Amino acid sequence: DGAGGGERKLLGFPPVPATDEDALAVPDGYTAQVLIPWGTPLLSDGPEWRKDASNSAADAERQVGSHHDGMHYFPLGKGKDGSRRGVLVLNHEYMDRTLSYPDGDEEMTREKADKGAAMHGVSIVQVEKGRKGWRRVDSELNRRITATTPMTVSGPVGPDHPEMQADDPQIRGTINNCSHGVTPWGTYLACEENWNFYFGTTDASWRPTPAQERYGVVADSDYRWFEVDPRWDAAVNPKEMNRFGWVVEIDPFRPDSTPVKRSRLGRIKHEGCVTTEARGRIVAYTGDDQDGDYIYKFVGAEPWRKTRARGESPLDHGVLYVARFDDDGTGRWLPLEFGEGPLTEENGWKDQADVLLRTREAADAAGATPLDRPEWIAVQPGRQDVYASLTNGSGWDNAVTPRKPNPYGHIIKWTEEGGDNTATSFAWDIFLLAGDPAHDDRVELDEEDLFGSPDGLWFDADGRLWIQTDVSNSSQNDPEKGYDRIGNNAMLACDPSTGELRRFLTGPRGAEITGVVTTPDRRTMFVNVQHPGEDTPFWGENSPEDPRAVSNWPDFDPEGRPRSATVVITKDDGGVIGT
């Protein structure tokens, strides 16, 4: 087996049928095990999970967070050892405000806001394969990074920049970490997505600035932390939000290290930050997940080893580009460089830091192409083609978003000029349209492979493309959206050379499937199940008061509650996952 397997087919497993059952299903011949659900103590002497959600904010700081998302496995040791022992690093995108406290969140308190902040961020957990499967082990590497962990910022927007001077002199924390990236030098990149939802104010006279408006900052925001903690109050402490929207670099092997926000990669709602190398340079692709927003690419200024040899970060030196997709199937990477094109002093731009703080406005000015919610991006090993999920959206007046509206989403693909990921032009194509041909005759999926709202995308080392879905509960339950035959969220495997597609996993009710990685031997796969039981406003009066009526995965304890978790998948014959 392995890369270059010649005739051997990439997909060898029996397909998993679509379902609306409250269970996690994998193909016959495979086994799934639940690992580190929300609330698992990071160390065995840490605070035990309390199933009535009565753990305190201080407890939550020492437990695995909630809403598991992007994830990477860093092997510990070489060869076989590295596939039996490693460090899982995973994002905790958000938390459920009704499930996280015994009495819900109708009454907001400082303790509740602090607990919510502690449930966010990143978990670093050493794991090992034993006789009874994989388990969390005590390790000095185990660490929680939360919304209050001390951090710094590097690049053109440094810690001393006037726009970074908030009430707290210390830059702290990371929030809404969706997908992720891994650098060639072995660090983890946590990406800050919907950070705007955490800032708000009760000050009726407050109005957002144009920059704040472009990022969707509103007074009446979802998390009501601003009601009890001035840190999150957009009127009282307006610069605090400038500390979010970045890519955060974390060294999982140095538990005392300070995470660094890398301003050179821009300030957007970073879905993820997938990296590759070309001509010795680091190249990082990142989507800005909002209907009508863009895809970006960062290209290092020189071979990354050279920058590292000087003791500097390759992520601090380079150029940020935004994508323009032309209707003729070609595209251009437009540089977001101060002084170039429209980004001049004459047009109101101060310097490169200003361009990066207001990345979205800079990309608007440059003429980027609006897309249907760009989510994960994946680079095909060997060929270096780039695939991106456009999960769903309203559809825009361009050929790269061909459906209007686009409730099912699609996957696009591009080849950089000369196969060089540092190039400034590319050729693009639509790789596949998701959906159900019963509702849209442009969809070419077989009945047994129907899916919608692709989100997670990841290539394993053999070249299988893993596709994970995030259909919102409101779409699932809205007959207009055409999701009636698609069932719960799923993960599929695809052979990109033949287009062959097969459903590999279905998740519990109300959950999205996100985050996937294997051990280096590809015989263990880790997948995240996020927000089982998530309620939906669409159900309105029919909405069950207790989310357990939707899902109580994975514990199925009538007194417990649904929990996000990592799932470990192995093949019963010990083979490579997917074969």
Q: Which residues bind ligand FEO (CB under 6 A)?
A: 93, 178, 193, 271, 289, 375, 455
Q: How far is the CB of 69 from ligand FEO (least distance, A)?
A: 6
Nearer to ligand FEO, 271 or 535 (CB): 271
Q: For residues 140 and 158, is the Cβ–Cβ distance under 8 A?
A: no
Neighbours of 415 (CB within 10 A): 17
User: Which residue type occupies 396?
Assistant: W
Which segment (109-117, 237-245, 367-375, 400-408) binds Ca ion by CB under 5 A?
367-375
Q: How far is the CB of 454 from ligand FEO (least distance, A)?
A: 11
How far is Cα 269 from Cα 247, in angstroms, rounded to an integer? 10
Helix, strand, or coil here: 98?
coil
How far is Cα 444 from Cα 434, in angstroms, rounded to an integer? 8
| Positions in 156-195 near Ca ion (CB under 5 A) | 178
Partner that binds at residue 193, options Ca ion, ligand FEO, none, CB closer than 5 to 8 Å by kind: ligand FEO
Sheet containing 247-250, strands listed edge to edge, beginning at the edge strand earlier in sequence: 152-154, 260-262, 247-250, 188-192, 177-182
Q: How far is the CB of 145 from ligand FEO (least distance, A)?
A: 18
**Which of 378, 372, 528 has its CA nearest to residue 457?**
378
Q: For residues 259 and 151, is the Cβ–Cβ distance under 8 A?
A: yes
Which segment (56-64, 303-311, 463-471, 567-575) binds Ca ion by CB under 5 A?
463-471
Nearer to Ca ion, 488 or 570 (CB): 488
**Which of 15, 144, 150, 51 has its CA nearest to residue 89?**
144
Q: How far is the CB of 346 from ligand FEO (least distance, A)?
A: 35
Which segment (89-97, 119-127, 323-331, 404-412) binds Ca ion by CB under 5 A?
89-97
Residues paired with 92 in a beta bridge: 68, 121
How many Cα atoms occupy the beta-carbon half-sphere of 161 within 13 Å?
23
Nearer to Ca ion, 190 or 365 (CB): 190
Which segment (222-230, 329-337, 371-379, 518-526) binds Ca ion by CB under 5 A?
371-379
Nearer to Ca ion, 124 or 178 (CB): 178
How far is Cα 11 from Cα 516, in angstroms, rounded to an integer? 17
Q: For residues 545 and 505, is the Cβ–Cβ distance under 8 A?
A: no
In the set 59, 114, 455, 460, which binds Ca ion (CB under 5 A)?
Answer: 455
Residues in the chain: 579
Partner that binds at residue 534, options ligand FEO, Ca ion, none, CB closer than 5 to 8 Å by kind: none
Nearer to ligand FEO, 49 or 451 (CB): 451
Nearer to Ca ion, 142 or 489 (CB): 489
Nearer to Ca ion, 86 or 487 (CB): 487
Nearer to ligand FEO, 157 or 377 (CB): 377
Non-local CB neighbours of 312 within 8 Å, separated by 6+ positions = none
416 near Ca ion, rule: CB under 5 A: no
240 near Ca ion, rule: CB under 5 A: no
Non-local CB neighbours of 193 within 8 Å, separated by 6+ positions = 93, 176, 177, 178, 269, 270, 271, 289
Which segment (277-285, 466-474, 494-502, 544-552) binds Ca ion by CB under 5 A?
466-474
Per the structure block, which two tokens stand in for 273? 């930050």
Q: Tell me the site size for Ca ion, rule CB under 5 A.
A: 5
Nearer to ligand FEO, 287 or 496 (CB): 287
470 near Ca ion, rule: CB under 5 A: yes
| Contact set with Ca ion (CB under 5 A) | 93, 178, 375, 455, 470
